[in-house]
Structure 1
Amino acid sequence: MWAFLQHLSFWDWLALGTVLLILEVFGAGGYLLWIGLAAAAVGVLTFVLPGLSWELQLLLFGMLSILTALYWWYRQRSAVRASDQPNLNLRGQELIGKVFVVHQAIVDGRGKVKVADGVWMARGPDTPQGAKVRVVGLEGVVILVEPVD
Protein backbone atom coordinates (compact mmCIF):
# COMPACT_ATOMS: atom_id res chain seq x y z
CA MET A 1 0.00 0.00 0.00
CA TRP A 2 2.79 2.42 0.87
CA ALA A 3 4.52 1.67 -2.40
CA PHE A 4 1.32 2.50 -4.28
CA LEU A 5 0.85 5.78 -2.40
CA GLN A 6 4.48 6.81 -2.91
CA HIS A 7 4.23 6.31 -6.65
CA LEU A 8 0.87 7.92 -7.43
CA SER A 9 0.88 9.16 -11.01
CA PHE A 10 -1.47 11.38 -12.93
CA TRP A 11 -2.95 8.22 -14.53
CA ASP A 12 -4.16 7.04 -11.12
CA TRP A 13 -5.96 10.32 -10.51
CA LEU A 14 -7.45 10.43 -14.00
CA ALA A 15 -8.64 6.83 -13.61
CA LEU A 16 -10.24 7.67 -10.25
CA GLY A 17 -11.90 10.72 -11.78
CA THR A 18 -13.20 8.65 -14.68
CA VAL A 19 -14.60 5.97 -12.39
CA LEU A 20 -16.32 8.59 -10.24
CA LEU A 21 -17.81 10.30 -13.30
CA ILE A 22 -19.08 6.96 -14.62
CA LEU A 23 -20.68 6.22 -11.25
CA GLU A 24 -22.27 9.68 -11.38
CA VAL A 25 -24.04 8.68 -14.60
CA PHE A 26 -25.86 5.96 -12.66
CA GLY A 27 -27.60 8.53 -10.49
CA ALA A 28 -25.52 9.90 -7.63
CA GLY A 29 -27.34 13.23 -7.84
CA GLY A 30 -24.33 15.43 -8.55
CA TYR A 31 -22.16 14.45 -5.62
CA LEU A 32 -19.68 12.27 -7.47
CA LEU A 33 -19.45 14.73 -10.36
CA TRP A 34 -17.58 17.26 -8.29
CA ILE A 35 -15.36 14.73 -6.54
CA GLY A 36 -14.56 13.21 -9.93
CA LEU A 37 -13.65 16.63 -11.29
CA ALA A 38 -11.43 17.22 -8.25
CA ALA A 39 -9.63 13.92 -8.92
CA ALA A 40 -9.17 14.89 -12.58
CA ALA A 41 -7.80 18.30 -11.52
CA VAL A 42 -5.28 16.62 -9.21
CA GLY A 43 -4.34 14.36 -12.14
CA VAL A 44 -3.68 17.39 -14.33
CA LEU A 45 -1.65 19.06 -11.55
CA THR A 46 0.35 15.86 -11.07
CA PHE A 47 1.06 15.77 -14.80
CA VAL A 48 2.20 19.41 -14.81
CA LEU A 49 4.13 19.10 -11.53
CA PRO A 50 5.38 15.48 -11.41
CA GLY A 51 7.34 16.05 -8.19
CA LEU A 52 4.25 16.44 -5.96
CA SER A 53 4.40 14.16 -2.94
CA TRP A 54 1.55 11.77 -2.34
CA GLU A 55 0.64 13.61 0.86
CA LEU A 56 0.26 16.87 -1.04
CA GLN A 57 -1.73 15.11 -3.76
CA LEU A 58 -4.19 13.70 -1.22
CA LEU A 59 -4.43 17.06 0.52
CA LEU A 60 -5.15 18.79 -2.80
CA PHE A 61 -7.75 16.16 -3.63
CA GLY A 62 -9.50 16.65 -0.30
CA MET A 63 -9.45 20.42 -0.54
CA LEU A 64 -10.63 20.48 -4.15
CA SER A 65 -13.38 17.98 -3.35
CA ILE A 66 -14.67 20.17 -0.54
CA LEU A 67 -14.37 23.38 -2.57
CA THR A 68 -16.16 21.97 -5.60
CA ALA A 69 -18.89 20.42 -3.44
CA LEU A 70 -19.42 23.76 -1.67
CA TYR A 71 -19.52 25.52 -5.04
CA TRP A 72 -22.15 23.04 -6.25
CA TRP A 73 -24.17 23.47 -3.06
CA TYR A 74 -24.02 27.27 -3.36
CA ARG A 75 -25.09 27.17 -7.02
CA GLN A 76 -27.98 24.82 -6.27
CA ARG A 77 -29.18 27.02 -3.44
CA SER A 78 -28.97 30.23 -5.44
CA ALA A 79 -30.79 28.62 -8.40
CA VAL A 80 -34.00 28.16 -6.39
CA ARG A 81 -36.29 31.05 -7.19
CA ALA A 82 -39.89 31.74 -6.38
CA SER A 83 -42.10 30.92 -9.33
CA ASP A 84 -44.01 33.66 -11.10
CA GLN A 85 -46.81 31.06 -11.45
CA PRO A 86 -47.03 29.34 -8.05
CA ASN A 87 -50.29 27.52 -8.91
CA LEU A 88 -49.05 26.16 -12.24
CA ASN A 89 -49.61 22.48 -11.42
CA LEU A 90 -52.35 23.04 -8.85
CA ARG A 91 -55.39 23.37 -11.08
CA GLY A 92 -57.86 23.61 -8.23
CA GLN A 93 -56.04 26.54 -6.64
CA GLU A 94 -56.54 28.68 -9.73
CA LEU A 95 -60.30 28.22 -9.41
CA ILE A 96 -60.53 29.96 -6.03
CA GLY A 97 -62.44 33.22 -6.34
CA LYS A 98 -63.98 32.42 -9.73
CA VAL A 99 -67.71 32.13 -10.41
CA PHE A 100 -69.25 29.05 -12.05
CA VAL A 101 -72.70 27.57 -12.71
CA VAL A 102 -74.13 24.70 -10.68
CA HIS A 103 -74.41 21.68 -13.00
CA GLN A 104 -76.18 19.35 -10.57
CA ALA A 105 -78.10 20.91 -7.67
CA ILE A 106 -76.23 21.04 -4.38
CA VAL A 107 -78.38 19.06 -1.95
CA ASP A 108 -77.33 18.18 1.60
CA GLY A 109 -74.05 19.98 0.95
CA ARG A 110 -73.07 17.98 -2.17
CA GLY A 111 -73.44 18.64 -5.86
CA LYS A 112 -71.56 19.35 -9.08
CA VAL A 113 -70.31 22.54 -10.68
CA LYS A 114 -69.48 23.05 -14.36
CA VAL A 115 -65.91 24.32 -14.74
CA ALA A 116 -64.86 25.05 -18.34
CA ASP A 117 -65.40 21.76 -20.20
CA GLY A 118 -65.47 19.59 -17.08
CA VAL A 119 -67.59 18.99 -14.01
CA TRP A 120 -66.20 19.18 -10.47
CA MET A 121 -67.71 17.78 -7.30
CA ALA A 122 -68.70 20.61 -4.98
CA ARG A 123 -69.62 21.13 -1.35
CA GLY A 124 -71.55 24.06 0.00
CA PRO A 125 -74.99 25.29 0.99
CA ASP A 126 -78.00 23.92 -0.89
CA THR A 127 -78.15 25.63 -4.28
CA PRO A 128 -80.43 24.91 -7.26
CA GLN A 129 -79.16 23.83 -10.66
CA GLY A 130 -78.21 26.78 -12.89
CA ALA A 131 -77.39 29.11 -9.98
CA LYS A 132 -74.03 30.86 -9.84
CA VAL A 133 -71.53 29.98 -7.11
CA ARG A 134 -68.09 31.26 -6.17
CA VAL A 135 -65.26 28.87 -5.32
CA VAL A 136 -63.92 29.65 -1.83
CA GLY A 137 -61.66 26.68 -1.17
CA LEU A 138 -60.50 23.25 -2.11
CA GLU A 139 -60.45 19.92 -0.25
CA GLY A 140 -58.63 17.39 -2.40
CA VAL A 141 -60.63 17.20 -5.62
CA VAL A 142 -63.80 18.73 -4.14
CA ILE A 143 -64.28 22.47 -4.50
CA LEU A 144 -65.94 24.44 -1.71
CA VAL A 145 -68.49 26.94 -2.98
CA GLU A 146 -70.81 29.66 -1.75
CA PRO A 147 -73.76 31.22 -3.58
CA VAL A 148 -73.17 34.48 -5.45
CA ASP A 149 -75.57 37.22 -4.29
Structure 2
Amino acid sequence: MNWHVFTWAVVALLLFAAEALAPGAFMLWLGFAAVAVFAMVLLIPDIPVLAQVAAFIVLSFASIQVYRTWFRGRERGSDQPNLNRRAEALVGRVVPLDQPIVNGRGRVQIADAYWEVTGPDLPAGSAVRITASRGMSLQVEPAG
Protein backbone atom coordinates (compact mmCIF):
# COMPACT_ATOMS: atom_id res chain seq x y z
CA MET A 1 0.00 0.00 0.00
CA ASN A 2 1.20 3.47 -0.89
CA TRP A 3 2.16 5.53 2.20
CA HIS A 4 0.44 8.59 0.65
CA VAL A 5 -2.90 6.78 0.87
CA PHE A 6 -2.30 6.04 4.53
CA THR A 7 -1.19 9.63 5.21
CA TRP A 8 -4.34 11.17 3.69
CA ALA A 9 -6.53 8.71 5.61
CA VAL A 10 -4.83 9.74 8.86
CA VAL A 11 -5.14 13.46 7.98
CA ALA A 12 -8.87 13.01 7.29
CA LEU A 13 -9.42 11.13 10.56
CA LEU A 14 -7.47 13.73 12.53
CA LEU A 15 -9.54 16.54 11.01
CA PHE A 16 -12.78 14.73 11.81
CA ALA A 17 -11.55 14.11 15.37
CA ALA A 18 -10.65 17.80 15.73
CA GLU A 19 -14.18 18.69 14.58
CA ALA A 20 -15.64 16.31 17.15
CA LEU A 21 -13.55 17.83 19.95
CA ALA A 22 -14.16 21.47 18.97
CA PRO A 23 -17.30 21.62 16.84
CA GLY A 24 -17.66 24.57 14.54
CA ALA A 25 -18.10 22.93 11.11
CA PHE A 26 -14.74 24.20 9.86
CA MET A 27 -12.54 21.12 10.30
CA LEU A 28 -15.34 18.94 8.94
CA TRP A 29 -15.02 20.52 5.50
CA LEU A 30 -11.23 20.22 5.54
CA GLY A 31 -11.74 16.56 6.43
CA PHE A 32 -13.96 16.14 3.36
CA ALA A 33 -11.18 17.65 1.23
CA ALA A 34 -8.68 15.18 2.75
CA VAL A 35 -11.05 12.29 2.00
CA ALA A 36 -11.29 13.46 -1.62
CA VAL A 37 -7.49 13.54 -1.93
CA PHE A 38 -7.34 10.13 -0.22
CA ALA A 39 -9.71 8.76 -2.88
CA MET A 40 -7.69 10.38 -5.68
CA VAL A 41 -4.42 8.90 -4.41
CA LEU A 42 -6.09 5.53 -3.90
CA LEU A 43 -7.36 5.49 -7.49
CA ILE A 44 -4.30 7.12 -9.09
CA PRO A 45 -1.27 6.17 -6.96
CA ASP A 46 1.36 8.01 -9.03
CA ILE A 47 0.17 11.56 -8.24
CA PRO A 48 3.14 13.66 -7.07
CA VAL A 49 3.11 14.89 -3.46
CA LEU A 50 3.06 18.55 -4.55
CA ALA A 51 -0.02 17.88 -6.68
CA GLN A 52 -1.68 16.12 -3.74
CA VAL A 53 -1.07 19.09 -1.45
CA ALA A 54 -2.27 21.52 -4.15
CA ALA A 55 -5.41 19.44 -4.64
CA PHE A 56 -6.02 19.44 -0.88
CA ILE A 57 -5.70 23.23 -0.73
CA VAL A 58 -8.02 23.77 -3.70
CA LEU A 59 -10.57 21.26 -2.41
CA SER A 60 -10.41 22.82 1.06
CA PHE A 61 -11.24 26.25 -0.31
CA ALA A 62 -13.99 24.78 -2.49
CA SER A 63 -15.56 22.78 0.34
CA ILE A 64 -15.51 25.77 2.71
CA GLN A 65 -17.22 27.86 0.02
CA VAL A 66 -19.87 25.14 -0.36
CA TYR A 67 -20.46 25.35 3.41
CA ARG A 68 -20.61 29.14 3.44
CA THR A 69 -22.93 29.32 0.45
CA TRP A 70 -25.38 26.48 1.05
CA PHE A 71 -25.33 25.48 4.69
CA ARG A 72 -24.31 28.41 6.88
CA GLY A 73 -27.43 30.52 6.33
CA ARG A 74 -29.82 27.61 6.80
CA GLU A 75 -29.12 27.01 10.46
CA ARG A 76 -32.24 26.79 12.55
CA GLY A 77 -32.90 29.84 14.69
CA SER A 78 -33.26 29.55 18.42
CA ASP A 79 -36.68 29.70 20.05
CA GLN A 80 -35.01 31.74 22.82
CA PRO A 81 -32.53 34.09 21.08
CA ASN A 82 -31.87 36.13 24.26
CA LEU A 83 -31.16 33.13 26.49
CA ASN A 84 -27.56 34.14 27.26
CA ARG A 85 -28.21 37.87 26.91
CA ARG A 86 -29.87 38.62 30.19
CA ALA A 87 -30.04 42.39 29.79
CA GLU A 88 -31.63 42.12 26.33
CA ALA A 89 -34.14 39.61 27.66
CA LEU A 90 -35.38 42.25 30.11
CA VAL A 91 -36.42 44.69 27.39
CA GLY A 92 -40.17 45.32 27.58
CA ARG A 93 -40.55 44.47 31.28
CA VAL A 94 -42.16 46.94 33.67
CA VAL A 95 -40.46 47.20 37.07
CA PRO A 96 -40.52 49.65 40.00
CA LEU A 97 -37.54 51.89 40.66
CA ASP A 98 -35.50 50.80 43.67
CA GLN A 99 -33.68 54.13 43.81
CA PRO A 100 -34.86 57.35 42.17
CA ILE A 101 -33.45 58.42 38.83
CA VAL A 102 -31.47 61.59 39.53
CA ASN A 103 -29.48 63.32 36.80
CA GLY A 104 -30.45 60.50 34.43
CA ARG A 105 -29.17 57.62 36.62
CA GLY A 106 -30.96 55.29 39.02
CA ARG A 107 -31.37 51.66 40.01
CA VAL A 108 -33.93 48.85 39.80
CA GLN A 109 -34.04 45.43 41.39
CA ILE A 110 -35.06 42.52 39.18
CA ALA A 111 -35.21 39.20 41.02
CA ASP A 112 -31.98 39.07 43.05
CA ALA A 113 -29.97 41.48 40.89
CA TYR A 114 -29.64 45.26 40.93
CA TRP A 115 -29.39 47.02 37.58
CA GLU A 116 -28.23 50.53 36.84
CA VAL A 117 -30.79 52.42 34.77
CA THR A 118 -30.71 55.57 32.69
CA GLY A 119 -33.70 57.69 31.80
CA PRO A 120 -35.71 60.75 32.81
CA ASP A 121 -35.66 61.79 36.48
CA LEU A 122 -38.32 59.88 38.44
CA PRO A 123 -38.95 59.18 42.15
CA ALA A 124 -38.30 55.80 43.78
CA GLY A 125 -41.17 53.34 43.39
CA SER A 126 -42.20 54.69 39.96
CA ALA A 127 -43.04 52.03 37.40
CA VAL A 128 -40.65 52.11 34.45
CA ARG A 129 -40.54 50.14 31.21
CA ILE A 130 -37.15 48.83 30.07
CA THR A 131 -36.64 49.98 26.47
CA ALA A 132 -33.04 48.99 25.72
CA SER A 133 -29.84 47.64 27.20
CA ARG A 134 -26.33 48.98 26.89
CA GLY A 135 -23.84 46.64 28.47
CA MET A 136 -24.86 46.31 32.12
CA SER A 137 -27.08 49.40 32.07
CA LEU A 138 -30.76 49.46 31.16
CA GLN A 139 -32.49 52.37 29.47
CA VAL A 140 -35.97 53.05 30.87
CA GLU A 141 -38.98 55.29 30.35
CA PRO A 142 -42.06 55.91 32.52
CA ALA A 143 -44.48 52.99 32.21
CA GLY A 144 -47.65 55.05 32.32
Quick check: TM above 0.5?
yes
Aligned partners of 1:144, 1:37: CA distance in 2, in Å?
53
Aligned partners of 1:72, 1:93: CA distance in 2, in Å?
31
Aligned to 1:35: 33
Q: What is the CA-CA distance between 1:137 and the residue it aligns to?
A: 1.5
Aligned to 2:123: 128
Q: What is the CA-CA distance between 1:109 and the residue it aligns to?
A: 0.9
Aligned to 2:95: 100
Quickly say closer, same or farther: Cα 1:109–1:69, change in 2 above 3 A. closer
Aligned to 1:45: 43
Aligned partners of 2:5, 2:74: CA distance in 1, in Å?
31
Q: Is 1:17–1:39's contact at 8 Å kept on the other side of the alignment?
A: no
1:118 aligns with 2:113: yes
Choose 31-40 or 131-140, whichever is displaced more: 31-40
- Equivalent of 1:138 in 125, 133, 136: 133
1:48-67 correspondence to structure 2 within 5 Å: 54=47, 62=55, 65=59
Computing the radius of gyration from Cα coordinates, the structure with the larger value is 1
Q: State the Cα RMSD in Å.
A: 3.5
Q: Which runs of 5+ in 1 are unaligned?
A: 1-8, 47-51
Choose 76-85 or 64-73, whichever is displaced more: 64-73
Aligned to 2:81: 86
Aligned partners of 2:64, 2:91: CA distance in 1, in Å?
43
Aligned partners of 2:93, 2:68: CA distance in 1, in Å?
41
Choose 113-122 or 63-72, whichever is displaced more: 63-72
Choose 137-146 or 73-82, whichever is displaced more: 73-82
1:68-79 correspondence to structure 2 within 5 Å: 72-73=67-68, 76-77=71-72, 79=74
Report % sequence identity: 32
Q: What is the CA-CA distance between 1:69 and the residue it aligns to?
A: 5.4
Number of aligned residues: 133
Q: What is the CA-CA distance between 1:70 and the residue it aligns to?
A: 5.8
Q: Which runs of 5+ in 2 are unaligned?
A: none
Matched residue SS, 2:82: coil
Q: TM-score, normalised by structure 2?
A: 0.68
Q: Is 1:11–1:43's contact at 8 Å kept on the other side of the alignment?
A: no
Aligned to 1:3: none
1:16 aligns with 2:33: no
